[in-house]
Amino acid sequence: MLWHLLAAQPEIVLFASLAIGYFIGSFKFCSIQIGGVCGTLIVALILGQSGARISPDLRNIAFALFIFALGFTGGPQFFANIGRGWRYGALSIVEVIVVVALVLLAVKVLRLDAGTAAGLLAGDATELAVIGTASEAIGRLGLSAAETARLQANIVTAYSVSYLFGLVTIVLFCSQIAPLILRVSLRDEAIASGASSAATARSPKASPSRCRRSPDANSR
């Protein structure tokens, strides 16, 4: 009865996935918090077995909003970090090369199809944007409707399986391995950054009267 209700009212699945997913994502397991995105994904996979289908137009709009929010929030930080040194850029390049190389190796050895490969890349890099891009690219290959649906379903399946492992790996890399490569202490850097921000907030702004010389000073 519940499955039939969810299939007939897909908006219930949408909001239930968000609410329950963010509730599950708020808990920590062994000091690791999966977050609302991963929690929503897990709940959506379970409720999606009801056969509920979201309108393609709504799916595209939601994905476009996600990309906008990602760029809007990350843009200022991205441009601010560009001038901080070449090590950040080098580390990003290394990450991209390693992830893509591993996915290509898996595709070659395991003979994965395009959908599974794209989902594996999205999950390993924890990049949800890859799903939309790959789904759109597969839809333009001119394949049959059944084959297109199969490959797009494989994207989501591979992403769901590999996302959690990719999330844990990135957390361990950023907290343990990356500081060793960059030769920095996260604790010391956080303390220094906090002290610098506090000093900047406490520093009084120069008043206009201090910036102008008095008439007596000019006459001397």
Half-sphere exposure at residue 165, Cβ-oriented, CA atoms within 13 angstroms: 11
Q: In the numeric block, which tokens belong to residue 97?
A: 């090369």
- pLDDT for the residue numbered 109: 93
> pTM above the 0.75 mark?
no
Each domain of the chain, given as residue ranges in start order, spans 1-54, 85-186
Average pLDDT on 205-212 reads: 46
Q: Considering only 18-32, 38-52, 206-220, which range has the smallest mean pLDDT?
A: 206-220
DSSP letter at 49?
G
Say yes or no to pLDDT of 210 above 70: no
Chain-centre distance of CA 201, in angstroms?
31
Q: Considering only 13-17, 28-32, 178-182, 202-206, which range has the smallest mean pLDDT?
A: 202-206
Average per-residue pLDDT in the chain?
77
Cβ count near 70 (within 10 Å): 13
Residue 28 main-chain phi, psi, to 5 deg: -110, 135
Chain-centre distance of CA 88, in angstroms?
18
* Residue 101 confidence class, pLDDT cut points 50, 70, 90: very high
- pLDDT for the residue numbered 200: 66
Strands (E) across the chain are located at: 28-29, 32-33
Q: Select the more confidently predicted residue: 32 or 116.
A: 116
